[in-house]
Amino acid sequence: MRRTVNHLADGREIIYFDDTSDAPPRTAKDTRDLPIPEHRSEIRRDPLTGEWVAMAAHRQTRTYKPPADLCPLCPSSPGRPTEIPEPGYDVVVFENRFPSFAMSVPDVPPTVDGVPMAARAAGRARCEVVCFTSAHTTSFGELAPSRVRTVVDAWADRTEALGALPGIEQVFPFENRGEEIGVTLHHPHGQIYGYPFVTPRTARMLETARAYRDEHGRHVLGDLLAAERAAGTRLVATSTHWTAFVPPAARWPVEVHVAPHRQVPDLPALSDAERDDFAHLYLEVLRRLDGLYGRPLPYVAGWHQAPVRHDRDLAWLHLEVFSVLRTADKLKYLAGSESGMAVWINDVTPEQIAEKLRASGRGPADRRSG
């Protein structure tokens, strides 16, 4: 893989990751007349929960559902410059033009006006966009395994780079797919957030892992993997280095976790063999997900990684993929219990959804015999 760094017209960084042998040098210039961005992100801590909430009012003007011929993530063409100056690319990462967090934001007062118990700080961190392919009408699940491996390498590269920035506490690569999820750009892409704090979900998982290790002397995810592989009822797919399963207390109507058999804190820690193996297994998982209802499944896929600076020994890298689609034509809306109290109520059992996902990967003859 070849890595090339360049800059866009407003100074944002863009990084090309090329896996094709005849990829041209990435020297194209961004010809747009873009203003230097002025971001005003800040974070405020809820005095009742202790959780940080981001404020990014400048994002109200971000691009929203453009037609395909105006897609800002497609390669540039004569007379139509985009976010990617090159006429084609393999995988590309660039700083988000409308970020939730940015390294250049100004300082803010340490507390919210009139509420001294509500801490406040600059939303000083970094958000990036990852384009998986220059082809507008494809999807992650249609990529070749070699291209998925390039994406994994790009995720790992950016995890290391963002983690080295001052103030970044956690790095979260993720993909949103489908309008039902809230996608406003249909080009196959994901994002990477470098947070200026450890997220509440990660903090809770680390607390649970610490308590389990103190009691049992082992990692809870390692024991969960062993139990799931032995039981088999919630397995979706397995390989030499990875297992995909529906968690025993799944929150979403479709939810799959993909975990390596070896405890590693983050993507950079994966071996070459683990990265290659993931590419093949994950494509199988995505094929099963799209086969579930006979239509492209809207989903969120996000990597749970260790914090940058602490508790790395308590983390176990894994990917979580979930969908709000509970039947082929019905969405799960977060009702009062989920939205108000974070108490989830699922309309399907994990065992049922796992069986459906296993069946969705069979051919017609297999389904008749099963």
Q: What is the DSSP string of 34-64?
A: -PPP----EEEE-TTT--EEEE-GGGGGS--
pLDDT at residue 69, rounded to an integer: 82
pLDDT at residue 76, rounded to an integer: 97
Could you tell me the two tokens for 336? 């009062």
pLDDT at residue 365, rounded to an integer: 36
Q: What is the mean pLDDT of the chain?
A: 94
| pLDDT tops 80 at residue 315 | yes
CATH of domain 201-369: 3.30.428.10
User: Letter for the amino acid at 301?
Assistant: A
241 in a known ligand binding site = no
Q: Which of 45-59, 61-75, 136-150 has the lowest mean pLDDT?
A: 61-75
Distance CA 8, CA 59 (A): 19
Contact between 79 and 11 (Cβ < 8 Å): no
pLDDT at residue 81, rounded to an integer: 97
**Segments of the chain assigned to CATH 3.30.428.10:** 2-197, 201-369
127 in a known ligand binding site = no
Distance CA 165, CA 175 (A): 22
136 in a known ligand binding site = yes
pLDDT tens digits, one per residue of 277-304: 999 999 999 999 999 999 999 999 999 9
pLDDT at residue 184, rounded to an integer: 83
Distance CA 174, CA 129 (A): 10
Mean pLDDT of 149-156: 98
Contact between 93 and 158 (Cβ < 8 Å): yes
Contact between 152 and 287 (Cβ < 8 Å): no
| pLDDT tops 60 at residue 370 | no
Mean pLDDT of 313-334: 95
CATH of domain 2-197: 3.30.428.10
Cα three-residue angle 307-308-311, rounded to 5 degrees: 50
pLDDT tens digits, one per residue of 221-268: 999 999 999 999 999 999 999 999 999 999 999 999 999 999 999 999
Contact between 236 and 306 (Cβ < 8 Å): no
Q: Which of 83-87, 313-317, 325-329, 366-370 has the lowest mean pLDDT?
A: 366-370
Catalytic residues: 189
Mean pLDDT of 354-360: 96
Distance CA 54, CA 50 (A): 13
